[in-house]
Amino acid sequence: MAKYFDVHPDNPQPRVISQVIGLLQADGLIAYPTDSCFALGCRLGNKEGIDRIREIRHLGDDHHFTLVCGNFAQFGQFVHVSNALFRSIKAATPGGYTFILPATKEVPRRLLHPRKKTVGVRIPDHVVTQALLTELGEPLLSSTLLLPDETEPMTQGWEIKERLDHVVDAVIDSGECGAVPTTVVDFSQDEPEILRRGAGDPSLFE
């Protein structure tokens, strides 16, 4: 049965954040809110957590997982990004974008796209997510909480708790969350490619 954490959207309670981090460090899997929609998240080295996300979402090997980072220092540790590209990304960050970039050796091989050796990265503009990332001290390995055969993510914490009670370890609820996944921009080739149009304005990269 998943634990349910009611977190203040503007002033997350430190005690509650610490409890969630304890679960993550014990290789738990959480459902948590972001500035776009709810996501599934676990610690970067949590192999079982990765498998559980794949199982919940019915994901294939070519799915791009996302490293949700708290700042650009973390961002630069896990992906290769040129100075020119960094300026473009920084202008749109934090916000509702996921960027596909070549991964560094810091990223576990099982997270990489099998052919491209790329991974998704983003920095969210969400108080609760940032509080979790600050306390954790590393990115959250994440994937949009979009269930198989459904076109829109769930927006209510209680509904997620009800439906995923036996497949996640905790649900973090900070009030109603959006239902629009991030805009995904692939920067792994010479020209940027919009893979998904979502919360972020895609025209910035077209």
- Structurally, how many domains does the chain consist of? 1
Q: What is the pLDDT of residue 5?
A: 98
Residue 62 has pLDDT above 90, yes or no: no
- pTM score of the predicted model: 0.96
C-alpha to C-alpha distance for 182 and 191, rounded to whole angstroms: 19
C-alpha to C-alpha distance for 158 and 78, rounded to whole angstroms: 34
Q: What is the pLDDT of residue 101?
A: 97
Structural domain harbouring 38: 3-205
Structure confidence at residue 169 as a pLDDT band (50, 70, 90): very high
Task: Return the HEC string of 39-85.
Answer: EEEEECCCHHHHHHHHHHHCCCCCCCCEEECCCHHHHHHHECCCHHH
Residues 6 or more apart whose CB falls under 8 angstroms from that of 168 comprise 2, 29, 30, 31, 40, 52, 56, 160
pLDDT digits (tens, 9 = 90+) for 3-53: 999 999 999 999 999 999 999 999 999 999 999 999 999 999 999 999 999
Mean pLDDT score of the chain? 95
pLDDT digits (tens, 9 = 90+) for 176-192: 899 999 999 999 988 89
CATH of the domain at 16: 3.90.870.10
Which two structure tokens, joined as six digits, stand for 88?
């473009």
